[in-house]
Amino acid sequence: MATLVPLSSVDPSLVETLLDESFGEGRHARTAYRIREGTQWLEGLSFAALDDDDYLAGSIQLWPVALIDPDGRRHPLIMVGPVAVMPALQGEGFGKALMGAALGALDASAGSSPVLPQVMIGDPDYYGRWDFTAAHTAGWHCPGPFDPARLLVRTPNPAILPAEGMLEAWKPAAE
Ligand SMILES: CC(C)(COP(=O)(O)OP(=O)(O)OC[C@H]1O[C@@H](n2cnc3c(N)ncnc32)[C@H](O)[C@@H]1OP(=O)(O)O)[C@@H](O)C(=O)NCCC(=O)NCCS
């Protein structure tokens, strides 16, 4: 049974070890890392899962990113990932618990306002259960190689999504 706690309450070195175990040591070269480069994960929306002995079993981080459309307009999005579960504990429900916690917190944080669309690079067979789909991202680009079938977005209102654009970290507008 997973216990969900804020990721900020966990020793960052333990999270780094978890990510190395789940993704391998070359993970920093992944395109998802390039998209998020220069920004920080969102504290209120990022969680750790602890196992029955209170050891770190998994983590999820959400980030502020932007899709830059061909006219240079910046459309804010939330990037989900990495979602990581210790290899020995995969398939026991930690991933689903982490996704539920993060998406639940995101919905709650918005109150009655619209929630920003969420983007991720991940397995559509797994993340489809939360309505992530590659159906609206065919014209989206990333600052590195990626499989278009794995560039996924989730929103109740796909009509507002730009058809084309480049993903990058969210940067506040210059004064
Ligand atoms: C992907 C990952 C986060 C899933 O977490 P998990 O705790 O192993 O998964 P859960 O136990 O919550 O979910 C299990 C369910 O998902 C399914 N599932 C797990 N990985 C899947 C995949 N890659 N594709 C499709 N289904 C998958 C299982 O069949 C099971 O289905 P069920 O609920 O119908 O029985 C985890 O396996 C992981 O850390 N993998 C390595 C890192 C990675 O690839 N992360 C995702 C990219 S950000």
**Residue 89 Cα to ligand 1 middle (Å):** 10
* pLDDT tens per residue, range 43-84: 999 999 999 999 999 999 999 999 999 999 999 999 999 999
- The whole-number average pLDDT for the span 104-128 is 93
Average pLDDT over residues 4-18: 97
Rg of the Cα trace of the chain? Answer: 16
- Per residue in 146-162, pLDDT (tens digit) is 999 999 999 999 999 99
Provide the whole-model pTM: 0.94
Nearest-angstrom CA–CA distance, 95 and 91: 8
Question: What is the predicted pLDDT for the residue at 174?
Answer: 62
Q: Position 153: which residue type?
A: V
* 95 CA to centre of ligand 1 in angstroms: 6
Q: What average pLDDT does the chain have? A: 95
Residue 81 CB–ligand 1 contact under 6 Å = yes
Tokens standing for residue 150 = 């794995």
Structurally, the chain folds into a number of domains equal to: 1
The parent domain of residue 131 ranges over 3-169
State the CATH number of the domain containing residue 76: 3.40.630.30
Q: Is residue 175 part of a domain?
A: no
